[in-house]
Amino acid sequence: MDCARSIELLSDYDAGLLGDDDKLFVITHLSTCSDCDGVFRDLKLIVQTAFAMRSENGIAYPDEESLWQRLSASRVVH
Ligand SMILES: [Zn+2]
């Protein structure tokens, strides 16, 4: 299923860690799938919020990876 693969790759895509093939797949999929595009927006928001809270307050905020796992698990409909 394309969405499952897309969700799996999103955090690495955001971090710039994907190879050309995977990156192209994500870009193509996001442009045709509004569900995954919405998930990607959420992911970016989580990463930015977690980063901002850490740098502004110096507190140990739950890391974005675990928040992301929880969110994507709740969003993906199989
Ligand atoms: Zn999708």
- Return per-residue pLDDT of the chain as tens, 78 residues: 699 999 999 989 988 999 999 999 999 999 999 999 999 999 998 888 887 877 776 655 556 667 677 777 666 555
What does the alpha-carbon distance between residue 8 and residue 4 come to, in Å, rounded to a whole number?
A: 6
Q: Tell me the residue range of the domain where 69 lies.
A: 2-75
| pLDDT at position 61 | 53
- Rounded distance from Cα 40 to ligand 1 centre (Å): 10
| pLDDT at position 55 | 74
What does the alpha-carbon distance between residue 6 and residue 33 come to, in Å, rounded to a whole number?
A: 10
- Rounded distance from Cα 34 to ligand 1 centre (Å): 7
| pLDDT at position 76 | 58
- Domains contained in the chain, number: 1
Mention every residue, 6+ apart, whose C-beta is less than 8 A from residue 36.
3, 6, 7, 10, 29, 30
| pLDDT at position 27 | 96
- Rounded distance from Cα 5 to ligand 1 centre (Å): 8
pTM over 0.75: no
- Rounded distance from Cα 10 to ligand 1 centre (Å): 11
- Rounded distance from Cα 22 to ligand 1 centre (Å): 14
What is the token pair recorded at 36? 């995954």
Give the residue ranges of DSSP H helices in 1-78: 2-14, 20-32, 34-57, 64-75
